[in-house]
Amino acid sequence: MDIKSNALSRINSFYKRLSPSEKKVADYILTHAKEVIHMPMSEVAKNSDVSDPSVLRFCRSLGYTGYLDYKLALTQDLASPTEFISEAVKEHDGVSEITQKTFAAANKGLYDSLQGLDMLELARAVDLIKNARLVLIIGVGTSAPIAQIFYNRLIRIGINTRVQTDSYLQLMEASLLNEDDVVMSISQTGASIDPIITLEEARSHGAKTIALTGSLASPITKNVDVCLFSATNSLQPEDVSSRISQIIILESIFLTLSMQNLEHSNNNEHKLWSAIVKKTL
């Protein structure tokens, strides 16, 4: 992502060309810039008294691809060099201080995710996956490794699963799904366009959809049957603590599915480890 600099000064440069609704967004950001870097697009729209598309148009009028692109530029402008990498870690911290702060951030992320997790939604996700003919797991960019981890867990218990991290191939696979299938998308920002398009395609063929995201107000939540929330309080929208929370949420789904069919899960584990032991002999 190419982050254009001077996110605030660009507002002044482009202000006269903005539409009335875009000027409302500009005025709000100019007076609440520090708060905006922590806000989802829907909250900026509400506070500016405009629609979500107006915020998106404002960002594009300034030359950004979307709200996330603009917010990253704004964060880069307002945060110190160390804050843009980590709000907790300081430039002169040693190994011990950095390690302790990293663990503390991870613990806080896990706690916040647990508090914000809707257990009924989590149970619905478990049921959809358990009863699916096929589960397609998708993720792009930094979400791709998390998608791969969940795929590796589900195949252990005999869930018919595929994982796709290429945006074109996941769209092709989604076009072949039906009402007996499930697509699970992992997207921390919830703003990446590729998984949103894939979910729309899957739903058009009757497939059920699940999203795991760090923003319940993000565009991806508009297009799913079940939405799971992984909290983050960092200026950096894809910090590692949010990824740890996602892994633990997915592990909770895996363990619940395992316990619901314990004998089958145990048999599969014995087969897996038997194959691995033979390979290493």
**Long-range interactions of 16-24: CB distance < 8 A, separation 24+:** 17/61, 18/58, 18/61, 19/54, 19/57, 19/61, 21/50, 21/51, 21/54, 21/57, 21/58, 22/54, 22/57, 22/58, 22/61, 24/48, 24/49, 24/50, 24/54
d(CA 22, CA 59): 9
Whether residue 111 contacts residue 241, with contact meaning beta carbons closer than 8 Å, is answered with no
pLDDT tens-digit readout, 192-234 = 889 999 999 999 999 999 999 987 767 888 879 999 988 765 5
pLDDT at 190: 81
The SS3 of residue 172 is: helix
Q: Which two tokens stand for residue 187?
A: 């997207």
pLDDT tens-digit readout, 37-76 = 878 888 899 999 999 889 999 999 998 888 888 888 887 7
Residue 275's nearest CA partner among 156, 118, 179 is 156
Amino acid at 103: F
Residue with tokens 């201080």: 97
CATH 3.40.50.10490 for domain 107-280: yes
pLDDT tens-digit readout, 6-34 = 788 888 888 889 999 999 999 999 999 88
Those residues whose C-beta lies under 8 Å from the C-beta of residue 223, and which sit 6 or more positions away, are: 196, 199, 200, 203, 209, 211
Strand partners, 137: 163, 184
Residue with tokens 């397609």: 136
- For residue 145, pLDDT over 90 is answered with yes
Which residue would you say has higher pLDDT here, 230 or 281? 230
The CATH architecture that domain 7-82 belongs to is: Orthogonal Bundle (1.10)
Q: Where in the chain are the domains? A: 7-82, 107-280
Q: Chain-wide mean pLDDT for the chain?
A: 87
Q: Which two tokens stand for residue 65?
A: 């691809």
- For residue 186, pLDDT over 50 is answered with yes
